[in-house]
Amino acid sequence: MKGSKNTNYIPNLSYDCVIFGFNGKTLKILILEYHNTGLFALPGGFIKKNQSLKDAVNKGVEDRTGLTNVFMDQFQIFGKLDRSDPAATRRILDGNNEDLEKNEWMMERFLTVGHYALINYEEVDPKPDHLSDSIGWYDIDNVPQLMMDHNEIVEKALEVLRNNISEKLIGMNLLPPKFTMKQLQQVFEAILDQKLRRTSFQRKMLSMDILERHEKLFEGKAHKAPFLYSFKQ
Amino acid sequence: MKGSKNTNYIPNLSYDCVIFGFNGKTLKILILEYHNTGLFALPGGFIKKNQSLKDAVNKGVEDRTGLTNVFMDQFQIFGKLDRSDPAATRRILDGNNEDLEKNEWMMERFLTVGHYALINYEEVDPKPDHLSDSIGWYDIDNVPQLMMDHNEIVEKALEVLRNNISEKLIGMNLLPPKFTMKQLQQVFEAILDQKLRRTSFQRKMLSMDILERHEKLFEGKAHKAPFLYSFKQ
DNA sequence: TATGTATTGTCTCACTTTATGACAATAATC
DNA sequence: GATTATTGTCATAAAGTGAGACAATACATA
């Protein structure tokens, strides 16, 4: 996008992605901060004219996390008239010494396609892109003020994640390939933001016939070692 | 959009809407046929540059059904590279003696925002728009071949409807304000495409405390008259 | 080596929800 | 007045869930 009129991208349309990770205790999301602006935002970008939406988002997430084959889903397009903020865009371009005139198209109204991604926190090495100072993990209940309507996008993403966790079993994407029952429970608890009963949870998970039991995990702790599990198939 | 370059609309972005109705027996959707083309399609359209996505879709549905305040929700954006079909668009414009050059922008790649709407079948008087020959109801299991990826959009819409019917109680939008328990059950059965148990269904609906019971409905049939219900609030 | 500690896997019992069938009530017909 | 089809509700069985109990066990400590 650097130093050119917009001949490459679909105009007026962007994507944003709420990237969830789980560090064993709390649910986190990736947020980036733009150079010299104090502006926080979700990772996002534009769709090339010869690129599918899916490819565009995958590419964006890969660039920022180094991960490929990330579980990801779009959940809503945000299309309000007043959601864009050209002043903020201008500040970002200014802060990076980008040519304003040549990026005029970015000041227009944008609709954005909201996505969420679930990734294994431990495998990720977030990298800031060329416009950003930093990219980092924030606890889901401690998200700073974000630009435009990005806070609303985060709220919606979390809502969708909560609705989907039980039926679609997508929580697996937040864990390493092998995990203990306790870890699985902690993921559910972090997403739903409520305590679950250990015995009921275990019974339910096992009865669903989706887990494969492996060797035990010896952590060196003074108690019975738990089994490791993976998702079947 | 008639006779102008595209200065009014967001380029490369459209909406399509799967409009569901229920005639008492089967679930139906509205499909339109373009003049002199034999092309069937979902009702859809473009978003004006100074119009929110929601307003655009509401307007489109109102124009075609005469209904305002229709229950509607977006469920997915379709963004594959090859989903557009400029040849079909050209046939539609040709069939209506529209100026091809002035509508050149319509031949570009489009992403579309899929919506579904639920309406009271009996209140609707579908009207073809100026490009269309006819608009009419089709049984959900007897949908003709549609242009572009519209069949896929219908499939997805139905899937989303099925997933949402139980938890979000959106089925009410398919019924008149007052209805019998049997009618309500028939809506569920049509959407889920499976028989439900009368007693369990009734008990569940009543236990949810969402229905208000009214006078009985005397249909002139030789059996006990059922109560009429409406949704609370 | 023996004992203590924290956590795990599983079981039990009470309680709630759901499935399935039974049955009386009733609006219209014969 | 008897018949018919459907409705509203109850009875019982089956399945699922909540809450706690308890033995098993991996390691720490003595």
Residue B9 binned pLDDT confidence (cut-offs 50, 70, 90):
very high
Q: Kindly state whether residues A63 and A99 are assigned to the same domain.
A: yes
Residue B5: which pLDDT band, with cuts at 50, 70 and 90? low
pLDDT at B115: 98
- Residue A50 confidence (pLDDT) above 90: yes
- Both B214 and B165 in one domain: the answer is no
What is the CATH number for A120? 3.90.79.10
Q: Helix (H, G, I), strand (E, B), or coil: what is residue B69?
A: coil
pLDDT greater than 90 at residue A222: no
Q: Are residues B57 and B104 in the same domain?
A: yes
- Give chain D positions with protein CB within 7 A: 3-11, 17-21, 24-28
Q: Work out the average pLDDT over A184-200.
A: 95
Say if residue A162 is in the same domain as residue A187: no
Are A12 and A49 spatial neighbours (Cβ–Cβ below 8 Å)?
A: no
Instruction: Decide if A79 touches B, using CB distance below 8 A.
Output: yes
Name, in order, each residue with C-beta under 8 angstroms of A97's C-beta and a sequence gap of 6 or more: none
Contacts of A133 (CB under 8 A, 6+ apart): A32, A33, A34, A35, A36
DSSP states of A1-40 as a string? -TTS-SSSEEEEEEEEEEEEEE-SSSEEEEEEEETTT--E
Q: Reply yes or no on whether the pLDDT at A19 is more than 70.
A: yes
Higher-scoring residue by pLDDT: B233, B101: B101
Kindly state whether residue B4 falls inside one of the protein's structural domains. Answer: no
Return the CATH number at A198: 1.10.10.10
Beta-strand relationship, A111-118 and A9-22: parallel
**Distance (Å, whole) CA A90 – CA A88:** 5
pLDDT at residue A112, rounded to an integer: 98
Strand B111-118 with B9-22, pairing:
parallel
Residue labelled with tokens 């650097």: A2
Q: Which of A2-16, A153-167, B4-18, B92-106 has the highest mean pLDDT?
A: A153-167
Q: Which domain holds residue B42?
A: 9-171
pLDDT at A1: 43
User: Which has the minimum average pLDDT: A56-60, A105-109, A117-121, B92-96?
Assistant: B92-96
One domain for residues A167 and A200: no
Structure-token pair, residue A20: 């969830």
Beta strands in A103-226 (DSSP E): 111-118, 132-139, 179-180, 211-216
Q: Are B74 and A76 within 8 A, CB to CB?
A: yes
Residue B3 lies in a domain: no
Quick check: A88 and A41 in contact, CB under 8 A? no
**Residue ending a domain, choose from A156, A172, A188:** A172
Report whether pLDDT(B233) > 80. Answer: no
First to last CA, chain B: 41
Last residue of a domain, one of A124, A139, A172: A172
Amino acid type, A72:
M
Mean pLDDT across chain B, nearest whole number? Answer: 91
B113 and A79 within 8 Å at the Cβ level: the answer is yes
